[in-house]
Amino acid sequence: MASRTVAKDIITLRGSAAIVSEFFGYAANSILYNRGVYPEESFAKVKKYGLPMLLTQDEGVKSFISNLTAQLSGHFSHSGNELIVLEKEWLEAGKLQRVVLVIMSKATNEVLERWNFSIETDSEVVEKGVSREKSDKEIMREIQAIMRQIASSITYLPCLDEPCVFDVLAYTDKDVAVPFTWIESDPKLIANPQMVKLHSFDTKIHKVDTLVSYKNDEWEEQ
């Protein structure tokens, strides 16, 4: 009797880390484009995840995001557009808890939005080196849902009507040694923020939950 074949793909720890790193690069580009942090004409259209995506052509930003995605498995910080790699393989070691893209007022540095990507790692995969199974197409569909929500963010987030800049924060386990070259940063929080939970995706090794919080400028009618 023939057995039924289920279309599953083998997901390794390194492969999963690569998926998460690549996702963050495209998500960061999409956020910067859709939130108007950089001019529309500074982005070029490509196809990814079965969707039209926008990638920055600004050399400084492109270099920063490219280096960031290449080293997302490591402990990193940055100064201006310079990426500083501090320790390798944090994603693969299960040490990276979340990555936050922060949008701030260029004039005052006031935090206007925080795009929070929380990462849960399968500890058994890290400790025993086992692999997991999940369809690549299923992972792509989950990522598509997040990208569509980012692209439609203008419908649920307030307009950013002033020049803005962005920063990236990394949160790791407390037992990770912080080298002297680490650039300390405050958490860049928003007081009494509004929050919107977006979709998540799961490689069966890394689960990424997405949440955006933003400054609440509601005013009371007289």
* CATH code for the domain in which residue 40 is found: 3.30.900.10
Q: Containing domain of residue 13, as a range?
A: 9-74+91-214
Nearest to 167 by CA among 211, 85, 109, 117: 109
* Structural domain includes residue 207: yes
* Range of weakest confidence among 70-84, 93-107, 140-154, 188-202: 70-84
On the question of pLDDT at 145 being above 80, the answer is: yes
pLDDT, greater one: 73 or 45:
45
* Structural domain includes residue 147: yes
- The arithmetic mean of pLDDT across residues 155-177, rounded, is 86
* Structural domain includes residue 219: no
Residue pair 62/71 in contact (Cβ under 8 Å)? The answer is: no
Residue pair 134/203 in contact (Cβ under 8 Å)? The answer is: yes
* Structural domain includes residue 83: no
On the question of pLDDT at 88 being above 50, the answer is: no
* Structural domain includes residue 185: yes
Which residues does 28 contact at the CB level (< 8 Å), separation at least 6? 65, 68, 101, 168
Count of the separate structural domains present in the chain: 1
